[in-house]
Amino acid sequence: MKKFFIWLAAIIMATGLGLVVSAPASAATPYCGLTWGSLMKTDGAVSGAPVTNVRTGQHYCFDRLVVDLGSGPAPGYTVRYVGQIIQDGSGAVVPARGGARLQVVVKAPAYDDKGQPTYTPADKAELSNVSGYQTFRQVVWAGSFEGQTTLGLGVRARLPFRVFTLDGPGSGHRLVVDVAHFW
Mean pLDDT of 3-22: 53
Of 147, 152, 112, 111, nearest to 128 by C-alpha is: 152
Condensed to tens digits (0 to 9), the pLDDT of residues 131-162 reads: 999 999 999 999 999 999 999 999 999 999 99
Q: Which residue has the higher pLDDT, 84 or 16?
A: 84
Is the pLDDT reported for residue 176 higher than 80? Answer: yes
Could you tell me the pTM of the whole model? 0.82
The CATH number for 31-180, chosen from 3.40.50.300, 2.60.40.3500, 2.40.160.20, 3.20.140.10, is 2.60.40.3500
| pLDDT: which is higher, 7 or 18 | 7
Residue pair 107/47 in contact by the 8 Å Cβ criterion: yes
Question: Residue 21 has what pLDDT?
Answer: 43
The answer to whether 77 and 105 have CB atoms below 8 angstroms apart is yes
At 81-131, the pLDDT tens digits run 999 999 988 899 999 999 999 999 999 999 999 999 999 999 999 999 999
What are the sequence ranges of the domains in the chain? Answer: 31-180
Beta bridge partners of residue 65, listed in sequence order: 56, 177
Q: Is the pLDDT of residue 72 over 90?
A: no
pLDDT band at 5 (very low <50, low <70, confident <90, very high): low
pLDDT in tens, 21-70: 444 444 455 679 889 999 999 998 888 899 999 999 999 999 999 999 99
